[in-house]
Amino acid sequence: MPELPEVETIRRGLLERLPGRRFVEVEQVEPFMLPEGAEPGLLREALPGRLIEDVRRHGKFLTLVLSDDAYLMLHLGMTGQVTLTSSGADLPKHGRFAFLLEGDEPRRLLFRDMRKFGGVELTFGRPTRRLESLGPDALEGEWTHADLARMLAGRTTPLKAFLLDQRRLAGIGNIYADEILWAARLSPLRPAGALSEDEVVRLAAEIRGRLAEGVRLRGCSISDFVDAEGRPGGFQRTLQAYGRQGEPCARCGRPLDRTVVAGRGTGYCAVCQS
Ligand SMILES: [Zn+2]
C-alpha cells in the first residue's frame, strides 16, 4: 500500500508537470470510489475549465488545488497508481479515473486501482473533511519529540498500532512502521505509553529518518508502486524488518521474527528490539 514516501514521490512528479494545466474533459469516473452519495456527474461538470494551481500532500492524501477554490483529493488506498500519460490511447485495465488536461502536449491524468480501495473527492471552499481527522504529517508536520511523548503518554496500545493510527501522525503504514521500529530498536508489541524519554527521542528520529530515506529513494516498490512517470522506487532494497521473517537480523544476526499487530503481519527482531 502506498505510504507517505510513495505518495510524496508521486506528488513531486505531479508538481513538476501539473500546475498551469487545465482540465479539458473527464473521460472516466468510477462511482464506487466516490464518497457515499456523491453525484458522478459532478466531476464531469465542475472540472473542465479549471486550472491546477498546486499539488499538496498530508499523510497519504494528495490534493490538487484548483482554480476558483476547488480541491480534488486523491487517496491511493491499497493498490492505487496515479500517473501522467499521453492522451488518446485506450484506457488501461483498472483505469478508474481519467482526466484529459490541456497543454502544449495534451496529457491524461490517470488513476488506476486494481482493488478499488482508493478514493476521489471534489470539494469547494476547503479540502476534504477527511484531512481534518488526521494528525500532523509524520515527515513534514510541525511536531517534536516532546509532542510525540505527549501523544504516547498513557496509551496501552502496542507501539506499532500507534504508528499506524493516522489520527496521531499521518502517513505511516505497515512497511515503514516495521522499518522505523527496527531502526529505533523498539518492539512493535511494546505498550506505546511505556517508552522512556531516550526511547521517544530515538523513535521520533527514526520516524523522520526512515520516511525521509523512503522519499530519497523514491518510494518502495514491493508490489505495484510506481511514480507519476510509471517508474518503480528503490526503498525495497534497504528493508531490514518488513517481510524478512526468518532471515538474519542485520544488527545481531539472529533470525527475525513475525507477529501480528493490529491485524497486520509484522517483521521484527525479538532479540534486539525491546
Ligand atoms: Zn537483531
Q: At 104, is the pLDDT very low, low, confident or very high (cuts 50, 70, 90)?
A: confident
CA 33 to each of CA 2, 95, 119, 159: distance values in angstroms, whole numbers, following the listed order: 17, 12, 5, 31
What distance in angstroms lies between residue 250's CA and the mean position of ligand 1's atoms? 7
Q: What φ, ψ does residue 134 adopt, rounded to 5°?
A: -85, 150
**132-168 residue pLDDT tens:** 999 999 999 999 999 999 999 999 999 999 999 999 9
Mean pLDDT of the chain: 96
Residue 224 has pLDDT above 90, yes or no: no
Of the listed 11, 21, 57, 60, which one is catalytic?
60
- Same domain for 63 and 157, yes or no, is no
- Same domain for 93 and 151, yes or no, is no
What distance in angstroms lies between residue 51's CA and the mean position of ligand 1's atoms? 51
Residue 108 has what pLDDT? Answer: 97
- Asked if 60 is an active-site residue, the reply is yes
Helix (H) or strand (E) holding 164: helix 159-164
Residue 103 has pLDDT above 90, yes or no: no
CATH number for the domain that contains residue 94: 3.20.190.10
Weakest-pLDDT range from 57-61, 77-81, 192-196? 77-81
Q: At 266, is the pLDDT very low, low, confident or very high (cuts 50, 70, 90)?
A: very high
Of the candidates 133, 154, 188, which is a domain's last residue? 133
What distance in angstroms lies between residue 185's CA and the mean position of ligand 1's atoms? 8
What distance in angstroms lies between residue 12's CA and the mean position of ligand 1's atoms? 35
- Same domain for 23 and 120, yes or no, is yes
What distance in angstroms lies between residue 271's CA and the mean position of ligand 1's atoms? 5
CATH number for the domain that contains residue 193: 1.10.8.50
Q: Is 27:40 a contact under the CB 8 Å cutoff?
A: no
**Domain boundaries, position 115:** 4-133
Of the listed 2, 136, 158, 188, which one is catalytic?
2
What distance in angstroms lies between residue 274's CA and the mean position of ligand 1's atoms? 10
* Buried-exposed string 158-176: b where 16+ CB fall within 10 A, e elsewhere: bbbbbbbbbebbbbbbbbb
Q: At 64, is the pLDDT very low, low, confident or very high (cuts 50, 70, 90)?
A: very high
Name the pTM for this structure. 0.96
User: What length is written for the chain?
Assistant: 274
**7-50 residue pLDDT tens:** 999 999 999 999 999 999 999 999 999 999 999 899 999 999 99
Helix (H) or strand (E) holding 152: helix 145-152
Residue 248 has what pLDDT? Answer: 98
Residue 189 has pLDDT above 80, yes or no: yes
- Asked if 185 is an active-site residue, the reply is no
- Same domain for 67 and 101, yes or no, is yes
Report how many domains make up the chain.
2
- Same domain for 93 and 153, yes or no, is no
Q: Is 216:233 a contact under the CB 8 Å cutoff?
A: no
Residue 199 has what pLDDT? Answer: 98
Residue 71 has pLDDT above 80, yes or no: yes
Measured CA to CA, the distance from residue 227 to residue 152 in angstroms comes to 33
- Same domain for 179 and 118, yes or no, is no
Residue 233 has pLDDT above 90, yes or no: yes
Place of cell 528503490: 234
Residue 223 has pLDDT above 80, yes or no: no
Judge whether 273 lies within some domain.
no
Q: Name every residue whose Cβ is closer than 8 Å to that of residue 157 and which is 6 or more positions away in sequence.
A: 165, 191, 192
Of the listed 3, 6, 179, 206, which one is catalytic?
3
